[in-house]
Amino acid sequence: MEVIIRPDAAIAASMTAELVAQAIRIKPQLVLGLATGRTMETVYNHLVEKHQKVNLDFSLCRSFNLDEYIGLSPESPHSYRYYMNYHLFKKVNIDIRNTHLPDGSAKDIEAECKKYEDTIKECGGVDIQLLGIGRSGHIGFNEPLSALYSRTRAKALTPTTIAQNSPLFPKPEDMPKRAITMGVGTILDAKRIIMLVTGKEKAEILAKAVEGPVTSMVSASALQLHPKCTVIADEAAAELLKEKEYYHWIFKNEPEWESFR
């Protein structure tokens, strides 16, 4: 794992977008693993801008999102499908048929999860997976105690996650209590991972994920097992990291992310 600390959230997001853009330029038919949440909005704004200003070409890209709420139709303005269409897909030249999210309104959730895993495999696996982190330590919606080998499945959301995301719904009680999510094992299968973490409210969980033990109590700690994982944090989120000086030194002298291609 490489930890890169940037001065603020805007610079951290712009670096994340640039790494994704570089990967698309190198491999136009990139399989992108995408995340939702407030942190990612700035990254998608940058990618849209790169498409508009420097012709970043998404036409051959395929994408798989991490998760979707159960019980919301893709048309619901609170679904992650809607979020992705709004923030990225409708603003760049990706073929919408090549964009994938689990269907939270599927009648047979188990079959939907299996189909999702199969489609990822058929596409040759995820090349680069973008991640945020929830305050419960989740990646996707892998709440505490998610098996480190877990695959795409339904998960019950924790009170911490419900408190974090329910303000995004018209009434907090409208937020679904379950979601389909790629498993921790599914995420770790990606060839490369970039996790973006900003803001002081994420400092405590980031320290546990990066410097704590690998434990299913903090799903993001499983990223320590991945050979090509870059964590990009702003100073506020990095506040509680004990080895900050070391991470800065590596970034300046021996940056690994440049070779993660």
Residues forming the site for ligand GLP (CB under 6 A): 35-39, 66-67, 132-134, 140-141, 161, 165
DSSP bridge pairs for 233: 5, 197
Distance CA 132, CA 248 (A): 21
The least CB distance from residue 209 to ligand GLP, in Å, is: 12
CB of 53 to ligand GLP, least distance (A): 25
- The CB-of-138 to ligand GLP minimum distance in angstroms stands at 6
**Cβ contact 180:70 at 8 Å:** yes
Among residues 37 and 71, whose Cβ is nearest to ligand GLP? 37
State in angstroms the smallest separation of the CB of 160 from ligand GLP: 10
Q: Which is nearer to ligand GLP, 9 or 23 (CB)?
A: 9
Nearer to ligand GLP, 61 or 187 (CB): 187
CA dist., res. 154 & res. 109, Å (int): 7
Q: What's the DSSP call for residue 86?
A: H
Q: Decide the pairing of beta strands 128-131 and 229-234.
A: unpaired
Residue position matching structure tokens 């305050």: 135
8 DSSP 8-state letter: S
Q: Which is nearer to ligand GLP, 42 or 98 (CB)?
A: 42
What's the min distance (Å) between Cβ of 151 and ligand GLP?
Answer: 17
66 or 184, CB closer to ligand GLP?
Answer: 66
Query: Rounded to an integer, what distance in angstroms lies between the CA atom of residue 3 and that of residue 195?
Result: 9
